[in-house]
Amino acid sequence: MVSSALSRLSNINRHLKPTVSHSCDSDGATGTPVKISPEVSNALSCGRAVVALESTIISHGMPYPRNLETAKEVEAIVRTNGAVPATVAILDGIPCIGLSIEQLERLASLGTKAQKAARRDIAHIVATRGNGATTVSATMFFASMVGIPVFVTGGIGGVHRHGENTMDISSDLTELGRTPVAVISAGVKSILDIPRTLEYLETQGVCVAAYKTNEFPAFFTEKSGSKVHCRVDTPEDCAQLIDANIKLKLGTGILIAVPIPKEHAASGSLIESAIQLALKEARDKNIIGNAETPFLLARVSELTGGASLASNIALVKNNAAIGAKISVALAQLRESCNTGDAQSVS
């Protein structure tokens, strides 16, 4: 047990460094890079399972108050499955890892008034004491900073359709190529170019695994027509994969793609026709950059009579349940390794 105890002390020391505060409720001290909630800090120090959650889905993903209800439900699902949720956001210039109910309500009320924050936006939002809702890339960055290895989202960004001409490629992909966090998602949003996205991830050296399938899911639907080279069938399989990636110090993230549950999958043809129309409207209105995805998702929801939004919420909840189980399996794997090391020493 000596090794296990030393590991715990190391974790506690890391989370008690003066550069890191443990509450998001105070105004904060000058020079504090991030603030970790007491619940998340305690879980990390004790080696318990923690799941990072993004906040863009709250501010930009759906209207109030449905966004707040969904955020609370997703956090509850993570807890029910044995892990601690750590929703990430920047509030008044302070990156917060783990939000209180009051902070979730504030972020939901702010909606699109909160800036959509990718990695490139972090320094500016902090410097100007602004409010930022973190995307996949920013959430991965903060999760890695404090030692959270598992992150759950709906779908990641990717190479936009016609990206070979526009060079519009989400920073989510480059983040996966340089930040060792496992991202649990329903694949790539089907408004994007899925084959080119997978090619780009291969170039970045990112392991892409599909959960209980050999085919990469297409966000709203179970199948995209693109195969993957890595299949995982249980949370324990995922934990072994994540643990190996970290121990080998590959320095890259892992994308674990979970198909939307069959009962919630919308008609693929209905979604695709709505996407094509929304893409045309976006081009006609010259909506580009990080404004394009929110526009497309909102427009597709309108065109499908809300079917895509219902599917979106269902897949996020499903991802949260599976992500929590993966995080628990990873925590148990690490605990067993620590115990085994201690026994071998004694």
> CA-CA distance, 54 to 231, in Å (whole number)?
25
- pLDDT of res. 139: 98
> CA-CA distance, 215 to 199, in Å (whole number)?
15
> CA-CA distance, 253 to 177, in Å (whole number)?
6
Per-residue pLDDT for 28 more than 70?
no
Same fold, 33-148 and 157-339: yes
Per-residue pLDDT for 343 more than 80?
no
Q: How many CB atoms lie within 10 A of CB 27?
A: 6
Per-residue pLDDT for 286 more than 70?
yes
Per-residue pLDDT for 167 more than 60?
yes
199-227 per-residue burial string, b: 16 or more CB within 10 A, e: under 16: ebbeeeebbbbbbebebbbbbbbbebebe
What is the full DSSP assignment across 27-45? ---TT--EEE-HHHHHHHH
> Once rounded to an integer, what is the mean pLDDT over residues 92-121?
97
Distance of CA 299 to the CA centre of its chain: 23
Instruction: Write the CB contacts of 10 (distance below 8 Å, at least 6 apart in sequence).
Output: none
As a whole number of Å, the end-to-end CA separation of the chain is 9
Q: Which residues carry out catalysis?
A: 54, 189
pLDDT interval class at 263 (50, 70, 90): confident
Q: Do the Cβ atoms of 215 and 226 come closer than 8 Å?
A: yes
Per the structure block, which two tokens stand in for 78? Answer: 């993570």
> Once rounded to an integer, what is the mean pLDDT over residues 42-48?
97
Single out the residue of 303, 213, 299 nearest to residue 261, CA to CA: 213
> CA-CA distance, 103 to 200, in Å (whole number)?
36
> CA-CA distance, 156 to 28, in Å (whole number)?
31
Distance of CA 88 to the CA centre of its chain: 10
Dihedral pair phi/psi, residue 300, rounded to 5°: -65, -40
> Once rounded to an integer, what is the mean pLDDT over residues 44-49?
97
- pLDDT of res. 34: 95
Per the structure block, which two tokens stand in for 186? Answer: 């329903």
Per-residue pLDDT for 110 more than 90?
yes
- pLDDT of res. 15: 47
pLDDT interval class at 22 (50, 70, 90): very low
Tell me the one-letter amino acid at 125: I
- pLDDT of res. 344: 59
Q: In this predicted model, what pLDDT tens digit does every residue of 48-86 receive, in sequence order?
A: 999 999 999 999 988 899 999 999 999 999 999 999 999
Per the structure block, which two tokens stand in for 340? Answer: 């085994």
Of the options 1.10.287.130, 3.60.20.30, 3.40.1790.10, 3.40.50.10490, the CATH number for the domain spanning 157-339: 3.40.1790.10
pLDDT interval class at 311 (50, 70, 90): confident
Single out the residue of 211, 268, 275 nearest to residue 239, CA to CA: 211
> Once rounded to an integer, what is the mean pLDDT over residues 122-137?
97
Per-residue pLDDT for 207 more than 50?
yes
- pLDDT of res. 330: 98
Half-sphere exposure of 10 (CA within 13 A, CB side): 9
Superfamily of domain 33-148: Indigoidine synthase domain (3.40.1790.10)
Q: What percent of the chain has pLDDT over 70?
A: 88
Per-residue pLDDT for 266 more than 90?
no
Specify the 3-state DSSP secondary structure of 156.
strand
Q: Per-domain residue ranges for the chain?
A: 33-148, 157-339
